[in-house]
């Protein structure tokens, strides 16, 4: 068991006195102090930090001094008269190649007047030490060649979850992959129709809970909002007065299929996306304008499933389902959105 011994104040004071006495900033004193600091560090152990706090120089300077003292050229007394006194300059010289350092001292290139800037340049001119990493050739993994098995047809599975588990086991066992097709007679298409049917049934059940608006009107407003977000539908403009200011906004064109019904429902002549949004929020109509984290209508989830299943707005429907599946603050809505998202992407090769 190692025992940590804290040195006495007397011992620390003795070291401090010796170091301070030697600290004259000549070459000889720099070397002497460097050696003393090194010895104190080795002998005092953990107590050195107590001494370090009382020294007439910083811990960085102490490290400089040790490096200088450890250099065999700089610590050689025969060269002391040729060296500059500054410890900063000596520190940079300590990083110069020893043979080069001796040569430049011998031929008079380094003198007591050698500057700190010159010492820095000399160190920077030193070739960088590079370590060569030995790379061992890794054995090449044999390339796996896969073969198409053919087309497999199955009866509609009673449990799609279990079917996919069984299929995954088979693929894992033989290192295979699968690409789902979406042809009319494919399993993915069968599943899409099942999901679409369920969505429509749930929408019909949820519609009974609506107030002041029908499901058909909700869908009508959703379609109109979606229409107004498309770049190609930005041509029709109208002048409106908003907060006593005349502005130009994109609005539904006169030939829009449900324009008359929407005008009657909203009670306005020119229907813009902003007006649609305000009316829906004011009347608490569940649609894309509602803050999804607080959406409390299951109807809206099933509406997104319908949009994806009908391929009417796959990108938008999936995005809103993902948002509710991750951001909803209502547990049952979040859970339903997660299950719905799983079903509409079950046979999606990108999922």
Task: Report the 3 state secondary structure along 215-284.
Answer: HHHHHHHHHHHHHHHCHHHCCCEEEEEECCEEEEEEECCCCCCCHHHHHHHHCCCCCEHHHHHHHHHHCC
One pLDDT digit (tens) per residue for the chain, 351 residues:
444 445 567 777 787 778 777 776 678 888 888 888 888 888 877 667 767 777 777 888 888 888 888 999 888 888 888 888 888 888 888 888 889 889 988 988 888 888 888 888 888 887 766 555 666 666 776 777 778 888 888 898 888 889 888 988 988 888 888 888 888 888 999 999 999 999 999 988 887 777 778 888 888 988 888 888 888 888 888 888 877 888 888 899 999 999 999 999 999 998 988 888 888 888 777 666 667 777 788 888 998 999 999 988 888 889 889 988 998 889 999 999 999 999 999 988 753
Buried-state track 202-229, b at ≥16 Cβ within 10 A, e below 16? bbeebeeeeeebeeebbbbbbbbbbbbe
Clarify whether residues 61 and 120 are in a common domain.
yes
Clarify whether residues 235 and 320 are in a common domain.
no
Which residues have C-beta within 8 Å of that of residue 302, sequence separation ≥ 6? 199, 202, 203, 206, 340
Cα(76)–Cα(16) distance, integer angstroms: 25
Q: Count CB atoms within 10 A of the CB of residue 22.
A: 18
19 inside domain: yes
Domain with 248, as residue range(s), is 214-282
167 inside domain: no
Q: Count CB atoms within 10 A of the CB of residue 159.
A: 9
Clarify whether residues 194 and 337 are in a common domain.
yes
Cα(296)–Cα(56) distance, integer angstroms: 71
Clarify whether residues 108 and 186 are in a common domain.
no
Clarify whether residues 244 and 257 are in a common domain.
yes
Clarify whether residues 197 and 90 are in a common domain.
no
Q: What is the pLDDT of residue 189?
A: 92
pTM: 0.50
The total domain count for the chain is 3
Clarify whether residues 110 and 31 are in a common domain.
yes
107 inside domain: yes
Q: Is 284 left (phi over 0), alpha (psi -120 to 50) or beta?
A: left
Q: What is the dihedral of CA 219, 225, 227, 229, to 10 degrees?
A: -150
Cα(222)–Cα(277) distance, integer angstroms: 10
Clarify whether residues 200 and 218 are in a common domain.
no
Sign of CA dihedral 59, 63, 64, 68: positive
Clarify whether residues 206 and 234 are in a common domain.
no
């Amino acid at each position: 068991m190692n025992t940590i011994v804290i040195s006495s104040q007397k011992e620390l004071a003795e070291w401090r006195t010796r170091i301070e006495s030697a600290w004259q900033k000549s070459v000889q004193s720099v070397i002497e102090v460097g050696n003393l600091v090194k010895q104190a560090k080795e002998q005092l152990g953990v107590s050195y930090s107590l001494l370090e706090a009382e020294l007439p120089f910083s811990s960085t300077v102490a490290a400089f001094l040790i490096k200088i003292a450890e250099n065999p050229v700089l610590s050689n007394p025969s060269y002391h008269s040729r060296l500059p006194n500054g410890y900063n300059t000596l520190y940079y010289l300590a990083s110069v190649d020893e043979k080069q350092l001796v040569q430049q001292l011998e031929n008079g290139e380094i003198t007591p007047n050698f500057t700190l800037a010159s010492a820095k340049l000399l160190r920077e001119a030193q070739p960088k030490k590079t370590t060569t990493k030995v790379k061992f050739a890794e054995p090449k993994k044999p390339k796996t060649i896969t073969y198409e098995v053919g087309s497999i047809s199955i009866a509609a599975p009673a449990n799609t979850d279990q079917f996919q588990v069984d299929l995954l086991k088979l693929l894992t066992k033989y290192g295979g992959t699968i690409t789902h097709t979406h042809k009319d007679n494919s399993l993915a298409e069968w599943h899409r129709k099942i999901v679409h049917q369920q969505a429509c049934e749930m929408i019909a059940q949820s519609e009974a809970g609506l107030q002041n608006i029908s499901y058909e009107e909700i869908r009508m407003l959703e379609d109109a909002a979606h229409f107004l977000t498309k770049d190609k539908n930005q041509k029709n403009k109208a002048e409106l007065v908003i907060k006593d200011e005349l502005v130009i906004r994109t609005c539904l064109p006169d030939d829009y299929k449900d324009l008359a019904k929407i005008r009657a429902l909203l009670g306005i002549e020119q229907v813009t996306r902003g007006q649609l949004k305000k009316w829906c929020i004011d009347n608490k109509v569940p649609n894309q304008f509602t803050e999804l984290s607080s959406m409390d209508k299951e109807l809206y989830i099933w509406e997104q499933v319908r949009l994806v299943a009908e391929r009417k707005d796959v990108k938008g429907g999936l995005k809103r389902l993902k948002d509710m599946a991750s951001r909803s603050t209502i547990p049952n809505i979040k859970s339903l959105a997660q299950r719905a998202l799983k079903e509409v992407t079950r046979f999606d090769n990108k999922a």
